[in-house]
């Protein structure tokens, strides 16, 4: 059991202002690095400023705006990369290669660790439950620890992720949102773009909920 407080630090990166998150336990110098989407140098500086060293790079899904700095940071820190088993094969697929070229970003390496639904990931003194939440993409996941939900591009404050990209599926997104609705209302939502929210706020104001 882990009773230490889990903290997060948000770094919006790149043209699409993708949220990179540093997740850690208060007082610890180890963190999980979620969705380093671009601007490796800025992420590196934030890590230094926060006194944190990543032990694992974790991807909420495979889109290039969430993975553009993965290759560089995985090299710098020599850490493995984890993604859902359905996202992993897409990390280097032609659509992502095209998008990487369009944004001038480097394609991520293959995932070292494949995650599956309801798995509990233990790293950096924390336990995160992995929820497979397809819809925005086939291998989208949410990460759950205590009252924190890292929701990727599944759920945003006031909106949801688009489902018109390859592999997107609105019916599956709705089913994923239905699962999120089962969480306590005080759950804090840390989305892949934009400001944090709470489940209560989203139940009241998000038309997709």
Smaller CB separation from Zn ion, 39 or 153: 153
Q: Pick the piece of the chain touching Zn ion (CB under 5 A) from 50-58, 61-69, 79-87, 88-96.
A: 61-69
Give how far Cα 44 sits from Cα of 88, 105, 134, 171, Å. 24, 17, 30, 38
- Please work out the total of residues on this chain that contact Zn ion, with binding judged by CB under 5 A: 4
The helix or strand, by DSSP H or E, that contains position 94, with its residue range, turns out to be: helix 94-103
Q: Using CB under 5 A, which of 35, 39, 72, 153 touches Zn ion?
A: 153
Q: Is 186 exposed, middle or buried (0-12, 13-18, 19+ CB in 10 A)?
A: exposed
Smaller CB separation from Zn ion, 72 or 153: 153
- Residue 68: other Cβ atoms inside 10 A: 28
- Residue 203: other Cβ atoms inside 10 A: 12
Number of residues written out for the chain: 209
Q: Pick the piece of the chain touching Zn ion (CB under 5 A) from 89-97, 106-114, 170-178, 186-194.
A: 186-194
Residue 20 and residue 59: Cα distance in Å, rounded? 10
Smaller CB separation from Zn ion, 17 or 178: 17
Q: Using CB under 5 A, which of 65, 72, 128, 172 touches Zn ion?
A: 65
Residue 109 and residue 89: Cα distance in Å, rounded? 11
Smaller CB separation from Zn ion, 140 or 206: 140
Minimum distance, C-beta of residue 192 to Zn ion, in the bound complex (Å): 5
63 binds Zn ion (CB under 5 A): yes
84 binds Zn ion (CB under 5 A): no
Query: Which structure tokens are listed for 124?
Result: 């950096």
State the DSSP string of 68-80.
TTHHHHHHHHT--
Q: Pick the piece of the chain touching Zn ion (CB under 5 A) from 25-33, 56-64, 80-88, 109-117.
A: 56-64
Task: Give the interface with Zn ion as residue ranges (CB under 5 A).
Answer: 63, 65, 153, 192
């Amino acid at each position: 059991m882990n009773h230490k407080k889990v903290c997060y630090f948000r770094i919006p990166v790149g043209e699409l202002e993708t949220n990179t998150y540093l997740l850690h336990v208060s007082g610890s110098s180890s963190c999980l690095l979620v969705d380093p989407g671009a601007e490796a140098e800025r992420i590196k500086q934030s890590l230094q400023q926060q006194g944190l060293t990543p032990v694992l790079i974790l991807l909420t899904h495979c889109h290039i705006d969430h993975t553009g700095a993965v290759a560089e940071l995985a090299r710098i820190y020599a850490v493995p990369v984890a993604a859902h088993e359905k996202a992993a094969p897409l990390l280097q697929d032609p659509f992502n290669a095209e998008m990487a070229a369009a944004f001038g970003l480097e394609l991520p390496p293959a995932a070292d660790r494949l995650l599956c639904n309801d798995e509990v990931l233990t790293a950096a003194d924390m336990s995160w439950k992995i929820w497979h939440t397809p819809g925005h993409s086939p291998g989208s996941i949410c990460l759950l620890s205590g009252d924190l939900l890292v929701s990727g591009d599944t759920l945003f404050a006031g909106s949801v992720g688009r489902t018109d990209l390859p592999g997107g599926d609105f019916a599956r997104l709705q089913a994923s949102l239905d699962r999120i609705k089962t969480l306590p209302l005080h759950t804090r939502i840390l989305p892949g773009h934009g400001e944090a929210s709470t489940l209560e706020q989203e139940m009241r104001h998000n038309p997709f909920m």
